[in-house]
Amino acid sequence: MLSKNRPLGRALLAALVVAGGLVAPAAPASAAPAAPTCTTNPATPKRQFRAMWIASVTNIDWPSAPGQSEEKLKAEYRAWLDLAQRLNHNAVIVQVRPTADAFWPSPYEPWSEWLTGARDGVSPGWDPLKFLVAEAHARNLEFHAWFNPYRISMPQGAGPDLTKLAPNHPVRQHPEWAVPYPIDAAGSRLYYNPGIPALRDFVQRAMLDAVVKYDIDGVHFDDYFYPYPAAGQDFADDATFAQYGAGFANKADWRRHNIDLLVQEFGAKVKAAKPWVKFGISPFGIWRNKATDPLGSDTNGLQSYDAIYADTRKWVKQEWIDYILPQVYWHIGLAVADYAKLVPWWSDVVAGTRVHLYIGQADYKIADPAQPAPWQDPAEMSRHLTFNRDYPEVDGNVHFSAVQVRANKLGATDMYAAEHYSRPALVPQMPHLDRTPPLFPLVTGASRAADGAVTLRWKQPLGHATSYAVYRFDGLALPGRCGLADAAHLIGTARGTSYVDTTAAPGARYTYYVTALDRLWNESTPSLPWPLMH
């Protein structure tokens, strides 16, 4: 007989667990265990990367305006994390170096004007990046630090004028590092010159400073390498090519080589400093068109390989990165760049590599009157996520940007969240970084409040875990080999050793299981069950 709120006796429990197929009896050392074949619900995947970009440049998302108080900035950021949790996201990608500046006390580059409201290099008096990481981790969200490698200024800021940069900006000491582009045209700004080896080394040191000092989970680049071309203007690096381009038949190949070196070298430096930190890039959605290159996609749009000298396909095939996040910012059926053609193309590119594929989603186009009819349909984004289910190489989605996700135009965010993010999901594993799971935890108790909420407690007797996943079954239940295969019973994850199940119904009977997760989301076998019978 079970008492009201005490666990089953250990011997009986262990017997039930083995009999129920939750834990297999030990196999001979020479026998490889057969992987169970489980039918899972594609609407509730157990693992799927889910995030939104939180852009700081020109105050797109956070901070909402420059020069705000520390208290206001912290409140705004916590509200973004509230949204991420509400949508069952498991990561945030936050821009912390938008224009050769910093959201942390960097010894290399000045404080960001998008944070402080001034281009004077004066400290705001606190460490935003430390706060950003800690707050994300408190909610068990991965934190990916988003760096823009080569952009120095924006038209809304210093534009092409070096003298408007902070006095301690490195370009003030090294004006030869900067190239204004385009010249005498709208949108003119400054870029670092990727062809200068000393500059490339400096940029890597500036970004690596944050990797070394902060407990980030990922490093993220967007699609800006060489600038997007302006009509009739070339990026002014002829002298640099003459100095450093020996061995290259043309400037285009040399430029691609420069960006290849950035990606290869920085990825290696990240892993040398912290092997567990992921390195991902979010390129423009088209590598090359099939009409140009038989390896390209069936598209007719701008080609990142030729326009911004980003050989994104090569980075995947060489496995210089851990994930690729192409910005597939077009609707299904668009003639020049069809979402339904690009996702299969990118899936084929990553197939056979260890590189994860996440898809960048254009939430900013929803309900935009300048966009074609599909973007006036609240179901278009949900159709994208449904389409992805047919391509197992697609491991997740990231939405641009946070303000657009929150705006919920046409109710589209609510729709795709209900149809695709109704349950929590674990971040996909990266076995090439680590594949060893932690040991399972031991549930030590559960208590129910008057409103029905259940507080579950556990401990980690052996080994180390970063966080935990909590599963709930109705009644006295053993999940068998497939009960934890998708997220149907996953109710949440937590850092620390307790979890409050606010969705528990008063008086309902449940059985809880807890698994341990390391920082790369390798999952332990489940704890022994904890039945709650009243």
pLDDT 10s digits, 60-102: 999 999 999 999 999 999 999 999 999 999 999 999 999 999 9
User: What's the pLDDT at 14?
Assistant: 40
In the predicted structure, residue 225 carries a pLDDT above the cut 60: yes
Q: What is the pLDDT of residues 347-360, one digit of tens each?
A: 999 999 999 999 99
Question: CB within 8 A of 32, min separation 6: which ones?
Answer: none
User: What's the pLDDT at 320?
Assistant: 98
Q: Are the beta carbons of 157 and 99 closer than 8 angstroms?
A: yes
Q: How many Cα atoms sit within 13 Å of 195 on the Cβ side? A: 23
In the predicted structure, residue 4 carries a pLDDT above the cut 60: no
User: What's the pLDDT at 36?
Assistant: 58
Q: What is the pLDDT of residues 390-440, one digit of tens each?
A: 999 999 999 999 999 999 999 999 999 999 999 999 999 999 999 999 999
In the predicted structure, residue 35 carries a pLDDT above the cut 60: no
Q: How much of the chain exceeds pLDDT 90, in percent?
A: 91
User: What's the pLDDT at 96?
Assistant: 98
Q: Report the 10 Å Cβ neighbour count for 280.
A: 22
How do the domains of the chain map onto residue ranges?
49-421, 442-532
Predicted confidence band at 19 (pLDDT cuts at 50, 70, 90)? very low
Question: CB within 8 A of 205, min separation 6: which ones?
Answer: 108
Q: How much of the chain exceeds pLDDT 70, in percent?
A: 93
Q: CA-based angle 532:491:52, to the nearest 5?
A: 165
User: What's the pLDDT at 534?
Assistant: 73
- List the structure tokens of 250: 């043309």
User: Do you find a cis peptide bond into 529, omega within 30 degrees of 0?
Assistant: no
Rounded CA separation 261/204 (Å): 11
In the predicted structure, residue 30 carries a pLDDT above the cut 60: no
> Does domain 49-421 match CATH 3.20.20.80?
yes
Strands (E), 21-127: 49-54, 91-97
Overall average pLDDT of the 326-341 stretch: 98
Backbone angles phi, psi at 164, to 5 degrees: -90, -5
Question: CB within 8 A of 184, min separation 6: which ones?
Answer: none
Predicted confidence band at 533 (pLDDT cuts at 50, 70, 90)? confident
Which residues sit opposite 292 in a β-bridge?
A: none
Thinking of the domain 442-532, which architecture would CATH place it in?
Answer: Sandwich (2.60)
Which residues sit opposite 358 in a β-bridge?
A: 396
Q: What is the pLDDT of residues 133-164, one digit of tens each?
A: 999 999 999 999 999 999 999 999 999 999 99
Predicted confidence band at 2 (pLDDT cuts at 50, 70, 90)? very low
In the predicted structure, residue 250 carries a pLDDT above the cut 80: yes
Tokens 């100095």: give the residue.
243
Chain mean pLDDT for the chain: 93
Q: What is the pLDDT of residues 269-297, one digit of tens each?
A: 999 999 999 999 999 999 999 999 999 99
User: What's the pLDDT at 477?
Assistant: 87
